[in-house]
Structures are given as C-alpha cells and as structure tokens.
Structure 1
C-alpha cells in the first residue's frame, strides 16, 4: 500500500527528530534515519491531532536555543 492510499485502517507512529520536529510514519515501516518513536500510535487523524497538540513551536530546536541565547544577551543591563 502506498503512503498516499486510503489508509483508514492503517496505524501510524508519531515520530520526532533531534530538532524536535514531529511527523507521522506508517507503523509497519522501519523508522527513517534520524527519527525516533515519540510514544504515540493510532489512526492517522489521531496521530495528526497529537502532533498538533505537542508541536507548538515549529522552529527547530537549534534555532530556538540560538534565539533564547540572543534574548538573554539583550536582557543584560547596559
């Protein structure tokens, strides 16, 4: 079955990478390199809803860290 086919009965896994970016992946497939199981499995719609609820900041982790560091620097007294 192709990834785009009707998959109402398919089970998916929510996956996350090192930059804390989320996606879904068919449960029967091996996880792609650089991604790990985020601990949520189910129908596509439920997995997408879970991703929407946990991935609240779309910026990659490295960008968030850099921006947080820059914000800290701008808060220093002159």
Structure 2
C-alpha cells in the first residue's frame, strides 16, 4: 500500500517529535518544526535530529545533579 499523504514534523515543549498529516490541524501542545515531505523523508529527518529521546524537563533535571 502506497502512502501519498504529505506529512510534517511536529515538536512539543518537551522537544519530542512526531509525524503528522500536513492537511490536518496541528493538535494543541504541538507546533510545526518546519519539515514536510513523505512519511519516509520526515521520519529520516526525525532520526537525524532527535538524538536524545529524553523529555527536555528530564534532561534539565539530570543536568542539575
């Protein structure tokens, strides 16, 4: 099955990423990161940029220790 849907990369306040169909409204708590394309293209971008899966609040708390 071929996926012809355009996707966009979203990010939330915890610096967590998600793929979202570009034609749908962005859900509350998320914002467009700026990357759009096929699901594979967006997924590859997320793989490149989201190298630390910990939420930002956890990273910041661990930096305080």
What band does the TM-score fall into relative to the shorter chain? Answer: over 0.9
Choose which of 43, 47, 58 in structure 1 pairs with 2:38: 43
TM-score under structure 1 length normalisation? 0.80
- Residue 50 of structure 2 is matched in structure 1 by 55
Alpha-carbon separation, structure 2, partners of 1:52 and 1:23? 11
Query: Alignment RMSD, CA only?
Result: 1.0
Runs (5+) with no aligned partner, structure 2: none
- Secondary structure of the corresponding residue to residue 40 of structure 1: strand
Runs of 4+ aligned structure 1 residues displaced above 2 Å come to none
Higher Rg? 1
1:17 and 2:12 matched: yes
Residue pairs, 1:25-40, within 5 angstroms? 25-40=20-35
- 1:61 Cα offset (Å): 0.1
- Secondary structure of the corresponding residue to residue 49 of structure 1: helix
Count of residue pairs the alignment pairs up: 65
